[in-house]
Amino acid sequence: MSEQQKFDVIVIGAGPAGYVAAIRAAQLGLKTACVDAFVGKDGKQALGGTCLNVGCIPSKALLDSSRQFWNIAHNFPVHGISVENPKIDVAAFIARKDKIVKQFTGGIGQLFKANKIMPFFGKGKLLKGNSVEITGHDGDKQTISATNVILASGSVPIELPFAKFDGKTIIDNAGALDIGAVPKRLGVIGAGVIGLELGSVWRRLGSEVTILEALPDFLSVADADIAKIAAKEFAKQGLDIKTGAKLTKAEVKGEEVHLTYEDKDGAHDLVVDKLLVAVGRRAYTDGLLAEDTGVKLDERGRIVVDEHNHTGVDGVWAIGDAVRGPMLAHKGSEEGVAVAEWIAGKAGHVNLDTVPYVIYTEPEISWVGKTEKQLKDEGVPYKVGTFPFAAIGRAVAMNEAVGQVKMLAHAETDRILGVHMVGPGVSELIAECVVAMEFKGSSEDLARIVHAHPTLSEAVHEAALSVDKRAIHKGN
Ligand code: FAD
Ligand code: NAD
């Protein structure tokens, strides 16, 4: 094997976990390669993984465009602005998103160049002894090796056996980011993050959106009070969310999908023009591991790692959606940084207890830490502080005075245990609470900090004051 094909670190997967790991490793002076198999809708290889190509970035681009369109009819009139007969050019709407995706995936290529990371395009397979066999898109094979290999192969959508993706009528996230015309009726299976975000996109452009959720409770991963407020707002927007609804049949008939689902009242039929199936994602490890590597998978197909993301096989690490923990880009990126630092003999750090969650709907939803139910179940004594955006001047001025901030603190120590929000700009407001929790802060700490007026962040300040029943702008 030539010198060129030996590396300090090989990363398999160039999503937000893998490409960040590669950049950090290179920054630390390690000779780094990154292998990625992603091919975009134009047939070209592209770095950035799910997040940049068919996840976080394109979904936020479409959410922002559709929000502007929705506001013309639903927000502008309150401000005294009228626009007659607004139209959406779906081709331009999709093209703007594609341009943003290209800008960011191309940007990763530039960062690789700047950091002298060698990219390999094709499918990587870990062999025993930390070699990686790469099968190029043309079928050609080559083998490279390294002292350390970081597995960052990500995740793929879960397919329902009775509603298989056909890429045209029954679609996954990639399909829902690329619909050519506003469907009259969009069915969504799963009222999770993707269902709510992409369901919102097409609802705002005029689709009749019906979301079928198997679980009896709406958004049971979030705090129940927050989920309740969000459900009310989504219903006002015309998102028809049916909980406790189990899909039993999906049949494509011409241009339509005929669905049968069951709920507590029995079986129902529903006909839609497109069906988005968003029932979760699974770790993707197909073809990633030769049989004798010793890397183990758990019962859900995730790569088994310890608290340092080490697989237990000498020099083999795994990060991102392919391992335990939330399937979030920022969680994978932080693991990537930490692993590169551990490899370089430094002190890496990832705290899975303070990973923020954000759902980019309207209103936005965000949280960090434990829900009230989790604290109850764990028998932890707690105090609650809440504050509504209806009493926040900035939110009222924006005509977006919906939702609240809810803070949970330990009843004895006052340490913040969780913060839950639904309302305007809460994707940004959560950062302050993450910092407070990471520094083991108390509600008193946040209550004593000066917050600018008038800003949305005053809702966090007032919620912190409300933990101690001393919020200023509401009754306690
Ligand atoms: P991925 O991004 O999935 O990247 C893995 C890469 O590895 C891919 O390019 C894949 O082709 C490649 N690969 C796999 N196997 C091999 C192999 N054997 N050889 C070579 N290459 C291989 N998260 C957020 O935090 N915020 C959001 O707003 C957000 N929005 C989302 C919206 C949608 C529609 C979706 C689907 C997801 C969203 N996510 C969001 C989740 C986020 O995309 C994932 O958590 C993140 O992409 C995981 O990063 P990763 O690097 O682990 O894997
Ligand atoms: P999810 O886990 O968020 O939601 C899936 C939903 O489908 C759940 O509510 C589940 O109860 C329901 N479900 C499962 N099987 C069902 C069935 N047979 N019929 C009806 N409902 C069913 O998964 P997702 O929305 O597919 O998203 C996948 C991952 O991507 C998530 O883990 C999320 O973290 C990540 N993501 C994050 C963001 C963000 O951070 N804003 C955005 C999109 C996706």
C-alpha of residue 267 to centroid of ligand 2, in Å: 23
Of 45, 174, 192, 187, the C-alpha closest to 105 is: 45
- Ligand 1: residues with CB < 6 A are 12-18, 35-38, 49-51, 55-56, 59, 123-124, 152-155, 173, 194, 284, 287-288, 320-322, 327-330, 332
- Mutate-to-test residue for ligand 2 from 279, 367, 428, highest number of ligand atoms within 8 A of CB: 279
**What is the number of the ligand closest to the CA of 333?**
1
- 188 C-beta closer than 6 A to ligand 2: no
C-alpha of residue 8 to centroid of ligand 2, in Å: 36
Question: Which atom of ligand 1 is found nearest the CA of 60?
Answer: 28
What is the DSSP annotation of 87-149? ---HHHHHHHHHHHHHHHHHHHHHHHHHTTPEEEESEEEEETTTEEEEE-TTS-EEEEEEEEE
- 278 C-beta closer than 6 A to ligand 2: yes
- 193 C-beta closer than 6 A to ligand 2: yes
How many Å apart are CA 173 and CA 156, to the nearest integer?
10
R_g of the chain computed on alpha carbons: 24
Give the three-class secondary structure for 367: strand
| Distances from the Cα of 321 to the Cα of 241, 285, 306, 318, angstroms | 27, 10, 15, 9
Q: What is the pLDDT of residue 299?
A: 97
- 117 C-beta closer than 6 A to ligand 2: no
Of 269, 279, 215, the C-alpha closest to 242 is: 215
Of 414, 421, 422, 408, the C-alpha closest to 445 is: 414
C-alpha of residue 213 to centroid of ligand 2, in Å: 10
445 burial (CB, 10 Å; 0-12 / 13-18 / 19+) is middle
C-alpha of residue 104 to centroid of ligand 2, in Å: 25
| Distances from the Cα of 48 to the Cα of 14, 16, 185, angstroms | 5, 6, 32
Question: Which atom of ligand 2 is found nearest the CA of 195?
Answer: 25
Other beta carbons within 10 angstroms of residue 66's beta carbon come to: 22
415 burial (CB, 10 Å; 0-12 / 13-18 / 19+) is middle
Q: What is the pLDDT of residue 476?
A: 84
- 121 C-beta closer than 6 A to ligand 2: no
473 is annotated as an active-site residue:
no
Give the containing element (helix H, strand E) for 35: strand 32-36
| Distances from the Cα of 339 to the Cα of 16, 19, 346, 352, angstroms | 14, 12, 9, 14
C-alpha of residue 176 to centroid of ligand 2, in Å: 14
The tens place of each residue's pLDDT in the chain, 476 residues long, gives 444 499 999 999 999 999 999 999 999 999 999 999 999 999 999 999 999 999 999 999 999 999 999 999 999 999 999 999 999 999 999 999 999 999 999 999 999 999 999 999 999 999 999 999 999 999 999 999 999 999 999 999 999 999 999 999 999 999 999 999 999 999 999 999 999 999 999 999 999 999 999 999 999 999 999 999 999 999 999 999 999 999 999 999 999 999 999 999 999 999 999 999 999 999 999 999 999 999 999 999 999 999 999 999 999 999 999 999 999 999 999 999 999 999 999 999 999 999 999 999 999 999 999 999 999 999 999 999 999 999 999 999 999 999 999 999 999 999 999 999 999 999 999 999 999 999 999 999 999 999 999 999 999 999 999 999 999 999 98
Q: Which of 79, 453, 461, 473 is catalytic?
A: 453
CA dihedral 282, 434, 51, 426 (to 10 degrees): 110
pTM comes to 0.98
What's the chain's length in residues?
476
